Structure 1
Amino acid sequence: MQAENDGLKKEVGTFAALATVMGTVIGGGVFFKVASVVEATQSAGLTLVAWVLGGLLTICAGLTSAELAAAIPLTGGAVKYLEYTYGKLPAYLFGWAQSLIYFPANIAALAIVFGGQLQALLHLNQASQLLIAIVTGLSITLINFLGAKAAGRLQSWALIFKLIPIALIVVVGLFSPGDTALHLLPSTSTHTNLFSAFASGLLATMFAYDGWLGVGAIAGEMKHPEKDLPRAIGWGLAFITIIYTLINLVFLKTLPISEIAGNLNAASASAIHLFGALGGKLVTIGILISVYGAINGYTMTGMRVPLAMAEEQSLPFSGFIRKVSTKTAAPYGAGVLQFAIAVLMMLLGNFDHLTDMIVFVMWFFSLLIFIAVFILRKREPDLKRPYRIPGYPVVPIIAILGGVFILVTTIITEFWLAVIGVLITILGIPVYYLTKRYYHYRSHK
């Protein structure tokens, strides 16, 4: 049985879908993850290979999830694929993980790097970074309290400014003489385990490619999802892979490995090298606007996940979380919850730890989605599938192997971070049943 489309108007064409893919995925990671990738690989060549392979894995993942998006075009996207395949509890845990980890951690991680960039730009003391991060998250939350129109306008402008620094760095950097030789292998004195170095570098790239899973949510609004969705995902992620590879090539050309590894200001340093002090500052301002817009995107989308769950009375304190402003229709209850969790994460974590936790938890659920393709092919062979994965079963198998690799690598390299992510997710099981029982009891009093 084909899922209904919830009455959505089919108005999204190929170009709009392509823009959605690229606008969703390209965020702050493109500017800041080069620091941790280079720190892991200690090699320009391995860094570029990691970005390319990360892109290929993401393309396979996106094309795989697109089959479910086209067959089950329900509002809610990935949550609905999980519910349709596995039932309500796994879908609930995904929404729970998004509400408690994914969106708040994205906001916290990007706010931290925003604070670091602004602190470096204005030459403020190091202690100001955390304060700037909290104020940044608060300002964006308050803008979203003005309503979806205000948040959407900010997002539109930020999308334009997001592409300007990328285009300037890539175009100027590619045609500028490079000061650094590109060597394929890392220094043996730095790394004794080449595979471990590359695995850590590949894992670090995955945060920058994050966002593709939400693209399938627009399937119900597409004119021809069977053609346009795979094109948008395939070509969109291919373009992103090329952009990421080129901008990292520029970083590696303009700065020595030692100045990039672990340096969250590497993008700004590269811009200063290419454009001089004033030009570098202008590009850095463009990067700041891009990151501010990325935080806004996660804030705007994220607050609506706990809102939807609270409306079904599936979260504790659902009465407060589902509160919506009568003037602006903004879900301020969910927004307060999201900001509070984000601030806690800002106080406890750093950029790389937060992003690694995000990647681990989201790829666990992504793995369930990839496996769901095989389950539904067998369980419901007559389900109408407007789009089928090209190269089946090779492409979804690559996506599954990539997901397993990411999970295992995180467990090996960031064991306690993985444990925390798993424990927070599992905590949703008793919450699900207790909340369900509580509201059932209240409704029958």
Structure 2
Amino acid sequence: MTDNSSSSYLRRLGTWDAAAIVIGGVIGGGIFRSASSVAESTSSGAQLLTLWVIGGLLTLAGVLCYAELGARRPHAGGIYIYLREAFGQLPAFLFGWCMALINYPGSVAAVATTFADYFCAAVGLPLQWVKPVAAGAIMFIVGVNFFGIRAGARMQNLFTLLKLAAIAVLVVTGLVLARGHLGVVLEPDPTHPVAPWAFLGALLPVLFTYGGFHYLNDLAGEVKEPQRTLPRALGLGLAGVVVCYVLVNLAYLAGLGHAGLAASQAPAADLMRRLFGESGAKLIAVGIACSTFGYCSIAIAGGARVLQTMGADGMFFRAVGRIEPHTRAPQVALAVLGGWAIVLVLSGSFNQLLNYTTVGEWLFHAFGIATLFWYRRRFANEPSPYRVPLYPLLPLVFVVTVLGVIIATTLDSPGDAGISLLLVLMGAPVYFVWRAWRGRRAA
């Protein structure tokens, strides 16, 4: 439970802070690059935009489920808490093992490196500076979060506004290049013929680009009036993301055309270059750097709360479970996650780690949503301040869709998927060894 004792979190995040976390956790660097791969698998602008809308609606179904889960258990830890209560400590430990110790720091390392790439390109630094800049960015974010959630939220709000400004610049640029001929963006592209409904295979990268909406639940222990704020912030934040993604893709189509978008390796830079030249490409590089930096801030803050909760449960080192009494920040957990992410940056091994944990991440999303069925049955008479609409349809749709994504990923990359599942299962013997060691220490 979160209370006002010096060993607990304080609820300091309002609705805008929470919504900014949702927006910042979803919009990282993906939308500035992944639209090209989606365009390659579609045959028209209409199909492309339809995919982004479908992906947004499916993600919204998951977000609404997370809203009820967060309202029922508004504590730090998110999915870890839900799995522990519904299925026991072993599944919860496997989540923490896979996500907090591998996926979260791997994501931070990857996105921090992306930030450093764009930052160095924008200011003219040589490639040798990429790793030091990425490591420095992680240390800076950890240092700010040492002062508590309010300091982290102020930084996050600033970078959320900057990334929304970058998106607005892209959209306006696309509209200017279209010169009032927006109708052509929906026309078929003869260079990319796709069989009817085959384009749905491109839903996989779309859903991955919508990932990250769960970070607010990791921070639920620090949200004011969580039963009211969490559902509102999750809904508003994800709705804003869907609007941004659709408008950005519309801008890409208007400025580059469907064939041009499919052929582009950096659509945001190519779009800006068409109107403003190289100065425009550098400007959007700054915007992408801000977007990726903001994502790193959220991933570090959210991941540290999961580690801290594991430590407090005795599922990780007890020191990691400590909350600093003056700032109410999990400083040891922040240092551990940030330090491990820096090691991954300097070693350059994070890309393979992320490939190996993608299937596990989405599998835990499916299990996390599935806990909602347990909560509804176990606490049937317990009043809930928020209930997901169209229950049980929406959670079923989300779980089935995620399992479909996992199957598609396994068929497409059986090696990576197999290693991902193996990494998750390797956590089981670690769990039993850890419990035995803790039991001997207690005795």
Contact 1:105 1:358 in 2 (8 A): no
- Give the direction of change, closer, same or farther, for the CA distance of 1:334–1:192 in structure 2 (3 Å limit): closer
Which residue is equivalent to 2:372? Answer: 373
Which residue is equivalent to 1:84? Answer: 85
Which residue is equivalent to 2:273? Answer: 272
Structure 1 CA distance for aligned equivalents of residues 59 and 79 of structure 2: 16
The Cα shift of 1:376 comes to 2.3
- Give the direction of change, closer, same or farther, for the CA distance of 1:281–1:144 in structure 2 (3 Å limit): closer
The Cα shift of 1:57 comes to 0.6
Structure 1 CA distance for aligned equivalents of residues 112 and 223 of structure 2: 33
Which residue of 198, 201, 204 corresponds with 2:200?
Answer: 198
Structure 1 CA distance for aligned equivalents of residues 283 and 419 of structure 2: 39
Contact 1:42 1:261 in 2 (8 A): no
Structure 2 CA distance for aligned equivalents of residues 172 and 408 of structure 1: 38
- Give the direction of change, closer, same or farther, for the CA distance of 1:396–1:292 in structure 2 (3 Å limit): same
The answer to whether structure 1 residue 139 and structure 2 residue 136 are counterparts is yes
What root-mean-square deviation, in Å, do the aligned CA atoms of Structure 1 and Structure 2 show? 3.4
The Cα shift of 1:54 comes to 0.9
Which residue is equivalent to 1:282? Answer: 283
The answer to whether structure 1 residue 362 and structure 2 residue 323 are counterparts is no
Contact 1:71 1:384 in 2 (8 A): no
* Aligned partner of residue 185 in structure 2, secondary structure: coil
- Give the direction of change, closer, same or farther, for the CA distance of 1:364–1:249 in structure 2 (3 Å limit): same
Structure 1 CA distance for aligned equivalents of residues 319 and 341 of structure 2: 13
- Give the direction of change, closer, same or farther, for the CA distance of 1:385–1:307 in structure 2 (3 Å limit): closer
Which residue is equivalent to 1:340? Answer: 343
The Cα shift of 1:214 comes to 2.4
1:94-113 mapped onto 2 (5 Å cutoff) = 94-113=95-114
Runs of 5+ in structure 2 lacking a partner?
none
TM-score of the two chains, using structure 2 as the length reference: 0.84
- Give the direction of change, closer, same or farther, for the CA distance of 1:168–1:213 in structure 2 (3 Å limit): same
* Aligned partner of residue 243 in structure 2, secondary structure: helix
- CA deviations over 1:256-276 (Å, ceiling 9, x no partner): 445434744221111222333
Structure 2 CA distance for aligned equivalents of residues 119 and 49 of structure 1: 35
Which residue is equivalent to 1:248? Answer: 249
1:142-181 mapped onto 2 (5 Å cutoff) = 142-148=139-145, 149=147, 154-177=155-178, 181=184
**What amino acid sits opposite 1:29 in the alignment?**
G
The Cα shift of 1:415 comes to 2.0
- CA deviations over 1:379-430 (Å, ceiling 9, x no partner): 3312331111111122222212221222122112222222222111111111
**What amino acid sits opposite 1:113 in the alignment?**
T
TM-score of the two chains, using structure 1 as the length reference: 0.83
Which residue is equivalent to 2:415? Answer: 416
The Cα shift of 1:35 comes to 2.7
Contact 1:24 1:212 in 2 (8 A): yes
Contact 1:78 1:216 in 2 (8 A): yes
Runs of 5+ in structure 1 lacking a partner?
none
- Give the direction of change, closer, same or farther, for the CA distance of 1:340–1:193 in structure 2 (3 Å limit): farther
The Cα shift of 1:61 comes to 0.3
Contact 1:79 1:91 in 2 (8 A): yes
Contact 1:71 1:383 in 2 (8 A): no
Structure 2 CA distance for aligned equivalents of residues 293 and 64 of structure 1: 25
Moved more, 410-419 or 221-230: 221-230
- Give the direction of change, closer, same or farther, for the CA distance of 1:382–1:326 in structure 2 (3 Å limit): closer
- Give the direction of change, closer, same or farther, for the CA distance of 1:156–1:17 in structure 2 (3 Å limit): closer
Structure 2 CA distance for aligned equivalents of residues 305 and 5 of structure 1: 14
Structure 1 CA distance for aligned equivalents of residues 133 and 197 of structure 2: 38
**What amino acid sits opposite 2:40 in the alignment?**
E
1:421-440 mapped onto 2 (5 Å cutoff) = 421-440=420-439
Which residue is equivalent to 1:403? Answer: 402
The Cα shift of 1:247 comes to 0.5
Structure 2 CA distance for aligned equivalents of residues 34 and 238 of structure 1: 19
Structure 1 CA distance for aligned equivalents of residues 95 and 135 of structure 2: 25
Structure 1 CA distance for aligned equivalents of residues 87 and 144 of structure 2: 35
- CA deviations over 1:87-132 (Å, ceiling 9, x no partner): 111111111111233212322332343354356557888xx3xx55
Identity %, equivalent residues: 30
The Cα shift of 1:207 comes to 2.7
Contact 2:76 2:218 in 1 (8 A): yes
Structure 1 CA distance for aligned equivalents of residues 120 and 312 of structure 2: 40
The Cα shift of 1:85 comes to 0.7
**What amino acid sits opposite 1:182 in the alignment?**
V
- CA deviations over 1:56-75 (Å, ceiling 9, x no partner): 01100010121121112222
Contact 1:140 1:296 in 2 (8 A): no
**What amino acid sits opposite 2:279 in the alignment?**
L
* Aligned partner of residue 41 in structure 1, secondary structure: coil
- Give the direction of change, closer, same or farther, for the CA distance of 1:19–1:348 in structure 2 (3 Å limit): closer
The answer to whether structure 1 residue 182 and structure 2 residue 185 are counterparts is yes
Which residue is equivalent to 2:208? Answer: 207
The Cα shift of 1:338 comes to 3.2
Structure 1 CA distance for aligned equivalents of residues 308 and 76 of structure 2: 14
Structure 2 CA distance for aligned equivalents of residues 170 and 326 of structure 1: 45
The Cα shift of 1:153 comes to 5.3
The Cα shift of 1:136 comes to 3.3
